[in-house]
Amino acid sequence: MGIDIFLAIADLVVACAVTWLIIWYFLMPSAHVHGQDAGTGSPANRAWRDPEDWGRWGADLDSRGHRLIRPTIVSALLTAPVLVLDLFDRFGPDLLPSWLTSPWVQAILITPVFFYCGRGILTDGWKAMTEHRCSPDLLAMLATSLAYLYSLVTCLAGSQLPEGSRSPYFDLIGVVITLLLLARVIGTRMEASLVASLNHLTEIRPASGLVADPEHPQSIPAQILARDRIRPGDLLLVRTGERPAADGVVESGSALVDDSELTGGDRPRPCGPGDRILASSMILEGRLSIRADAVGDNTYAARLAKIIPQALVERSPDMRRMDRIVHTAIAMIMILAVWAFMLWLMLGPQPHLAHAVGNAVCVLTIACPAVAAMTIPMAFRTSLETGLAHGLLFTSPRAMNRLGRVRTLILDDSSLLDPDDSEGQGVHTESLTRTATHLRALRVSSLILDGSRQPDDRIERAARQAGVDMLITQLTPERKRECMDRLNHDLTRTSRGVPADRTGQNATSTGEQGRTRLVALAAATTADHELTDKARVSIALGPQLQADADGTDPMQPDLILHQGDLDGTGRAIELSRATTQVIRQNLTWSTVYNIIALVVATGICQPFLGWMLNPMIAAVTGALSTILAMLNVRRLHRLRHLRRRWLRLALIDTDQLPTVAARRPQVIVDSQWESMQEGQDPAAAMD
């Protein structure tokens, strides 16, 4: 009796000491900051930053994917006979010869799986531990190492162990490593797909261009200049099968141009004098003389290659918060495994050691923190690739999150007027009609700010035909900015309907920030910068991303529509909401699954139900939950229902849309807006 009390006290002391060690090593502030710094400075993030490294990074991902396939296949082939032997040992022990039932047979098969196939998992787990980081690889390393050591003990000294504690866990090791390798193959291929599409942007940039003499283009032969020697005002000559080395305006000639690789367009477009053409566009047929106005690093293709890596590297507040939660959760899982081991060793039924090891391994393998850790960055990268294919560029994860919370879209008049119309009479009426119809389906209000000094019948007719909610007209630039401030204040509301403050959240409840209804402004790239800077969510129409006159970069918009059409606003909002939905699905699944799984894995059901979780089932469940979450994120690549809706809306005859009779806008002139400011809330009219 005295010995039992002494052993129980010793077990409690050891469990408390290990718990304190885990808290001190992983959860102290200095260790936590060190772990965050290690993650943000990883080689993967450095590779995203430099477009020149995309080719090498893509090749590394391809080679890594090929290198992972071999150990995955080897691990599966060596694990399969171990599983077969384990099944026969459980259900038909008399059908096998005695030498096949020896644990040494399983040890011989699984040892290469552990040290060769699982070498990357063990290395990454050890590296995370030395850097004070709690990662899913660390849990996998601890679980497989504990199972392997215990299994070796059963082989070397099985006769010395109590009856019931002599069963090894070699089959568990093989299954865990095989499924984790499979998850790595899927993740690497998803990342390689994105890198390949981005690397294509740098590969299609021409290294030189054919420049003609601007004063005597016919008499003086053209010369080939490197793209960094081309200057604004130079006259570029581009023929069939070539790509211009600078952005510019066509002066002469005609051609069929394919710029889908830059703008996401679905078909080539004809270009003639006065049309704008982008560097790296493909001339399918014809000849063009282009007057360059953006060269070198100021071209759209070059600036696009800078914006995308910044978006991929940026860590949004949601990502940082999730990293901290996952870091703490993994430390708590390790503490839970320690106490499950000690309590079952001290209080559990016979055999104590087998039950203690089994439940500790269950806790480590069934936990699935990887879902929460990888969901947000993987979903953003997948949606970024999908958006690029449809002419949408989200400039940051935070921008995508904001677009998903937009409930009011303000359209500046610069987004409605056709810049290619020399007479100034063109208005994108059909595009506005499709956009208003799409926004109504998404329950997003639409509002137009018209900056014309005199009544503009063109915009009013387009607004009435499209059925927008409100038109505010005859605004001066100063009054337009004041109107933007007022609309931002009155229409940006929390989920409780309370107007938010300047930061976009209620001053009395910071927890409402993630559910705040935001206001977005869609404007052409030529619009007033002071106006666009006031927008909480800024949408830029058109691929002109040149720097300001003083050489500084303008404030980056949240969304860039490559094709310059309003139709992309509805697509971007819908894609953002689909991404948010996938993230919420994965995070909800991860939270509910981990709580239930960890409770069951500790063996708490055994006193009440008389059964315990099999470590094999725990390992398979934990690995499959990660793979299923990755496949759920992969759905953002397809989104067939969204693609069908977008295509149907793009091809539909706008006369068939029930907008003229269904809704008519509330037209407000500037003088009426003054009186509205005195007593009426514009939010009431929008609602």
The answer to whether residues 161 and 284 belong to one domain is no
Instruction: Choose between 65 and 153: higher pLDDT.
Output: 153
Q: Do 419 and 502 share a domain, yes or no?
A: yes
Does position 416 have pLDDT exceeding 80, yes or no?
yes
Those residues whose C-beta lies under 8 Å from the C-beta of residue 496, and which sit 6 or more positions away, are 506, 509, 512
Farthest CA pair distance, the chain? 110
Among 363-377, 482-496, 655-669, the least confident range: 655-669
Three-state SS at 449: strand
Residue 353 confidence (pLDDT): 82
Quote the pLDDT of residue 316. Answer: 81
- Has residue 352 been placed in a domain? no
Out of 153, 186, 204, pick the residue that ends a domain: 204
Q: What type of residue sits at position 77?
A: L
Confidence (pLDDT) at 164: 64
Cα 15 from chain centre: 40
Element (H, E) at 524: strand 518-524
**Side-by-side strand order, sheet with 445-449:** 392-394, 559-561, 537-541, 518-524, 406-412, 445-449, 470-473, 666-669
Indicate whether 12 belongs to any domain: no
> How much is the CA Rg of the chain, to the nearest whole Å?
31
Give 511's pLDDT tier (boundaries 50, 70, 90): very low
Say which residue, 330 or 463, is predicted with more confidence: 330
In a domain, 531, yes or no: yes
Structure tokens at 159: 């006769």
Q: Is the omega angle on the peptide bond into residue 351 within 30 degrees of 0, that is, cis? A: yes
Domain of residue 279: give its range. Answer: 208-242+246-294
Residue type, 188: T
Domain-terminating residue out of 204, 232, 259: 204
Say if 411 falls within a structural domain: yes
User: Is residue 567 situated within a structural domain?
Assistant: yes
Q: What CATH code is carried by the domain that includes residue 408?
A: 3.40.50.1000
Distance of alpha carbon 633 from alpha carbon 466, whole angstroms: 35
Averaged pLDDT score across all residues of the chain: 79
108-117 pLDDT, tens digit each: 999 999 999 9
Residue pLDDT, tens place only, 159-169: 777 766 778 88
Check whether residue 180 and residue 288 sit in a common domain: no
pLDDT at residue number 332: 93
Distance CA 467, CA 457 (A): 15
On whether residue 681 sits in a domain, the answer given is yes
User: Which of 94-103, 281-290, 542-551, 594-603 is predicted with the least confidence, judged by mean pLDDT?
Assistant: 542-551
Q: Say yes or no: 483 and 558 in one domain.
A: yes
3-state secondary structure at position 249: strand
Kindly report the number of other CB atoms within 10 A of residue 470's CB atom: 20
Please say if the pLDDT value at position 661 is more than 50.
no
What tokens were used for 474?
A: 């005859």
Residue 561 and residue 484 share a domain: yes
At residue 75 the predicted structure's pLDDT band, cuts being 50, 70 and 90, is: very high
Question: Closest Cα partner for 527 from 513, 545, 540?
Answer: 540
19 inside domain: no
Non-local CB neighbours of 37 within 8 Å, separated by 6+ positions: none
Q: Please tell me what DSSP assigns to residue 167.
A: -
269-271 and 445-449 strand pairing: unpaired
Answer with the one of 142, 176, 204 that is the final residue of a domain: 204
Residue 543 lies in a domain: yes
Q: Which of 31-40, 153-162, 553-562, 673-682 has the lowest mean pLDDT?
A: 31-40
The amino acid at residue 130 is T
Number of structural domains (the chain) is 3
Residues 215 and 190 in one domain: no
Closest C-alpha among 329, 332, 327, 346 to residue 14: 346
Best CA proximity match to 184, nearest among 65, 352, 306, 317: 65
Q: Alpha helices, DSSP H only, in 492-612? A: 529-533, 567-601, 606-609
**Residue where the block lists tokens 């020697």:** 229
Query: CA 160 to CA 249: how far, in whole Å?
Result: 86
Give 211-254 pLDDT, tens digit per residue.
887 666 665 567 888 888 888 888 889 999 999 989 889 998 99
**Looking at the DSSP assignment, which residues form a beta bridge with residue 671?**
none
| 264 and 177 share one domain | no
Banded pLDDT at 609 (limits 50, 70, 90):
confident
- Rounded Cα distance between 277 and 291, Å, is 10
Residues in the chain: 687
For residues 94 and 238, is the Cβ–Cβ distance under 8 A? no
d(CA 341, CA 357): 6
Q: Are residues 426 and 541 in the same domain?
A: yes
Percent of the chain with pLDDT over 70: 79
- The answer to whether residues 173 and 272 belong to one domain is no
Report CA 526 to chain centroid distance, whole Å: 29
For residues 434 and 474, give the distance between their C-alpha atoms in angstroms, rounded to a whole number: 25
Q: pTM score, two decimals? A: 0.80
Whether residues 228 and 276 fall in one domain:
yes
Angle at 509 between CA 504 and CA 515, to 5 degrees: 55
Same domain, 135 and 236: no
**How confident is the model at residue 283, as a pLDDT?**
92
* pLDDT band at 681; cut points 50, 70, 90: low
Task: Please give the pLDDT value at position 482.
Answer: 86
pLDDT top residue among 440 and 305: 440
Tell me the pLDDT tens digit for each residue of 395-415: 888 889 999 999 999 998 888
d(CA 263, CA 247): 14
> Same structural domain for residues 86 and 235?
no
